[in-house]
A and B are shown apart, each in its own frame.
Chain A
Amino acid sequence: MSTATKKPAHKPKTAARFVRADGPDKVTGSGRYTADLSLTGALAAKFRYAEIAHARISKLDVSAARAMPGVFAVLTADDVPDVRYGSFVQDRTLFARDVVRFEGEIVAAVAAVDAATAQRAADAIVVEYAPLPIVNDAEAALAPDSPLVHEGWADYGAYEALVRDRNDASFSSIAKGDVEKGLAAADHIVRSRYVSDGCHAAPIEPRAVVAQWEGNKVTIWTSTQVPFDARAGVCETLQLPNNRVRIIVPHLGGGFGGKCGFHVEAHVAALARAAKRPVRLVFSRREEFLAPDKRREGIVYDFETGVKNDGTITARRVRLVIDNGAYTADAGFFSQLAAMHALGPYKIPNVLAEAHLAYTNHQPSGSVRAPTAPQTCWALESHTDEVAKQVGIDPVAFRKQNAVDTGAVGPSGQTYGEIGVQQCIDAATSAAGYGKTLADDEAIGVAIGWWPSFASPSGAYIKLDGDGSGQIITGAQECGTGAVMTLRQLAADEIGMRAEDFELVYQDTSAAPYDMGATGSQTLFNNGRAVIAAAGQIADQLRNLAANKLEAAAADIVLADGRAHVAGSPDRGVAIAALAGIAAGGELLIGHGSGAPPAAPSVAGSTCVGDIGVAAWQAPQFSCHAVRVKLDRDTGVARVLHVSTAHDSGTIINLVGAQGQVQGGVMMGIGQALTEGTNYDDQAHQRNAALLEYKLQTCADAPPIDIHFVEIETPNAGPYGAKGLAEAPNVATAAAIANALAKLVGAPVRQLPMTAERVWATLQETASKEQGK
């Protein structure tokens, strides 16, 4: 079921029915993904990984590997420029230098005639280690006597707003009002602790990279979500100018944030340069689990909320410790983002959130679909149900009372324009039948979530050729959501043509202007603006051509249905294709667009230490999920029976695609709630780095999902009033499941994922407490 509360007046005319342009390629098997590419003479790459979580390299000898027949190149830190990189903290090198800090760190790389030979050579590299103490716990990492993950942390370059101290790579706080006074004014103070494990993006396509040099220029085909970031990383680490590095992304087999950032493109490019041959790297599933600088961060939460008997929240204090892993990657802003999520979309006059991003000897954390949000929403919303219970108010009524609404002031002092969180609560709970009598082993849990839209520079070109067919050349990246596919609708609407009149040229840094990539749910929000601006230039050119041809004023020309005609005289017109033909003999039809990103909202009345720019939320998105769960109390096995969702993501431009984001985001949330968690042993090795032990949800696990869009006219939104959508549906599901489980168990399950074992253990604790009474 899919419904919408309100249809805004203006949407692209072509949006009614959407069949994606890259679809035929994908359903027939003709579509090429990076691992499907082959180049004559290409070599296979393999990496030698640290396999130990923290150690000093006492010996590294690649001579035997280099001497093996069929081996063309073996590289270590000595063979590439000595560059420390990192967008927030320059704590990373391409290859381990002197010290390894997590098991998946790359020590050396090999290019050989085939994969088996490359693997034998990688195994033949001699590495000896002097073990260093392992930092295996994020909270312990912050103790004054903890071993340091980076001895030289103080000398690293870093983004100037970051507040760093020893193992704390980014401390951030948000303070508003007087939290002590607020707690003192409360009738009750509820304290809770929650712990979430890390988990993985787990796209079905393991990453792959192919690199080929021609002279001093390199072309890299790679499965990245962020081609321009990947290019920046290659240029920085191999010291090349942007215009000599071309990143092309064939079809991308999913990312979910795991393929954001710059990762192994430079290693493969360096191998190809050394070997003087094209080189191809394809990750195994095990590597996909262990090696990327991207997995969802584990976080420990300690909440204190003060509440009056009438349900008014007077104050909230929360401390968060985020597991940064061994390198900061793109996690530098997670402390402030998680602090915002821990305070939540609530009207609370007095708040203090303090978040630490702690180095450990774990795999680095990085952007995975709505980074920090699902687990923080899980902790906050579990806590919120505890607070509501304390004052004897129904948890939905409690949220209605305390959640922000249009005109309310949020935790960071931002005053919100029109927002739809209250409507989301009403829509989701009503669709779920919240309040109806259920079987003894079933319950409905409810949670609300939020997520910012991210404004960023972004560009596109459009050309209309002499035959009247168009091409959109965009910097945007398609990771599967269909956001890039939707750009055709925007251009078509602006020029008065059909979406299918346009082909897309995308995912090629040498063809198109900059875009941030498939990250932050920003494609439509930002590149949509660029495409509309570029299409507007073409439309202006066409109106001028038509004005000449029809002897009318350009301002009176209407472009619609493939024709230009004089306003009020539909018969006085000319086909756009004919105008394109005229242009082909003179001034060509070429548009370029970027457009100014919408202004950041102002934040007043709060104090932020370590302000990384994510306390002011552009066009915030809101959601409410209501989930019906069935629990087998003998085993702790929970089953999600039904999910009702409501989202305020602004105007929905592509309904089929939007539904797909909700359905996929909810399923990922169910996995995070019940089965998906990284399990470390005492040596900081991942114990479940395989799909057999790290369980994704299957088709048989998927419950029915109601989808409701609350279409609100949000200030400073993207094209047609659209906000982002790809990450938001992943935020509130695990939290809603937790609140259903807490009702069934009699107490919250305080660890995420809420595996059958953990649920069962909580059931036992609750039962023994009951007996003890």
Chain B
Amino acid sequence: MSTSERIAFTLKVNGTDYPVDVEQGRNLLSVIRSEIGLTGTKEGCDDCECGACMVLLDGQPVNSCSYLAVQAQGRAITTVEGVIDGDEMHPLQRNILEEGGVQCGFCTPGMILSAHALLARNSSPSEEEVRIGLSGNLCRCTGYAKIVAAVQRTATELHA
């Protein structure tokens, strides 16, 4: 079967089912951005190196640039647009903003999802664990310090 052959299936993104009809070879990133229309997920390298395209698949962080859209059928996909709860920012979003962990913002969506997954598997990570947990997400602006502080503050708040 050629990768250009089309296939119709359903993707569940942020709790909503989206029917899509795309080439088999399409990566999840391009389907989320171009077919479903959620552009919060960014493309930085198309090479699994930068983490800007990170989404959660059943809660696990993956680089959506290197994941076929068809493989995500039947799984719960979370993008940055799904992290917010109604009009209320997720504590991670609020804290990364208040701590000054956002500059250009291009890595921010992937960073938030990476941190989200980290806190789901380890609710009180050490600074070292946060740093290792976020090491798949490149940021060129901030030097990471304020992002790490925001994740640690979030962990503390969620425990309180």
Name A residues whose Cβ lies closer than 8 Å to a Cβ of B.
18-20, 22-33, 35-36, 38, 202-206, 251-256, 282, 284-285, 479-482, 656-657, 659-660, 662-668, 690-692, 696, 698-702, 704-705
Contacts and interface: CB of A to CB of B under 8 A. Distances in A.
Q: Which of B94, B107, B112, B138 has the most CB of A within 10 A?
A: B138
A203 B141 CA distance: 8
A664 B39 contact: no
B71 interface: no
A28 B93 contact: yes
B64 to A, nearest CB: 13
Given A27-B112, A204-B106, A662-B143, 5 more contacts: A24-B89, A27-B108, A253-B106, A254-B104, A660-B103
Nearest to A18: B100
Contacts of B106: 33, 203-205, 253-254
Contact of A702 (B39, B94, B131): B131
A195 B94 CA distance: 45
A204 B145 contact: no
Contacts of A702: 131, 143-145, 148
B137 interface: yes
B132 to A, nearest CB: 5
Interface string B108-144: 1100100000000000000000111011111111111
- Of the listed residues A19, A28, A656, the one surrounded by the most CB atoms of chain B closer than 10 A to its CB is A28
A668 B39 CA distance: 28
A32 B47 contact: no
A691 B49 contact: yes
A254 B49 CA distance: 17
| Number of chain B interface residues as a range | 35 or more
Contacts of A31: 40, 105
Given A26-B102, A702-B131, A204 B97 contact: no
Interface in B19-74: 33-34, 38-47, 49-50, 52
Given A27-B89, A702-B143, A691 B80 contact: no
B100 A699 contact: no
Given A27-B97, A663-B145, A285 B44 contact: yes
Contacts of B138: 204, 691, 696, 698
Contacts of A29: 38-41, 79-81, 109
Contacts of A35: 42-43
B146 interface: yes
Nearest to A655: B100
A36 B140 contact: no
A700 B143 contact: no
Given A251-B105, A480-B105, A663-B145, A204 B140 contact: yes
B77 interface: no
Contacts of B143: 660, 662-667, 702, 705
A20 B94 CA distance: 12
A657 B44 contact: no
A699 B147 contact: yes
5 contacts: A20-B100, A20-B102, A30-B81, A660-B143, A702-B143
B84 interface: yes
B98 interface: yes
B11 interface: no
Contact of A254 (B79, B81, B103, B146): B103
A27 B105 contact: yes
A716 B17 CA distance: 60
Given A29-B81, A202-B140, A656 B100 contact: yes
Contacts of B80: 27-29
Contacts of A285: 44-47, 49-50
Contacts of B97: 19-20, 23-24, 26-27
Given A29-B80, A480-B103, A699-B135, A204 B142 contact: no
Nearest to A704: B145
B96 interface: yes
B139 to A, nearest CB: 7
Nearest to A701: B135
A699 B39 contact: no
Given A203-B106, A251-B105, A691 B140 contact: no
Given A26-B102, A691-B138, A667 B49 contact: no
Contacts of A255: 104
B46 A23 contact: no
Nearest to A17: B98
Given A481-B103, A660-B100, A28 B47 contact: no
Closest 4 CB pairs of A and B: A29-B40, A26-B105, A480-B104, A663-B143
Interface string B83-103: 110000100011011101011
B104 A253 contact: yes
Contact of A251 (B45, B83, B104, B107): B104
A285 B112 CA distance: 22
A665 B105 CA distance: 16
Given A28-B89, A696-B138, A253 B100 contact: no
Nearest to A669: B143
Contacts of A204: 42, 44, 50, 52, 104, 106-107, 138-140
B142 A660 contact: yes
A484 to B, nearest CB: 12
A27 B138 CA distance: 16
Contacts of B98: 19
A700 to B, nearest CB: 4
B142 A690 contact: no
Given A24-B97, A28-B81, A692-B47, A699 B108 contact: no
B146 to A, nearest CB: 6
Contacts of A19: 97-98
A474 B106 CA distance: 23
B146 A699 contact: no
Contacts of A700: 131-132, 134-135
Nearest to B114: A699
Contacts of B112: 27
Interface centre among A31, A203, A205, by most chain B C-beta atoms within 10 angstroms, is A205
B46 A284 contact: yes
Contacts of A659: 100, 146
Interface centre among B46, B50, B102 (most CB of A within 10 A): B102
A36 B93 contact: no
A427 B88 CA distance: 42
A521 B49 CA distance: 29
A563 B80 CA distance: 40
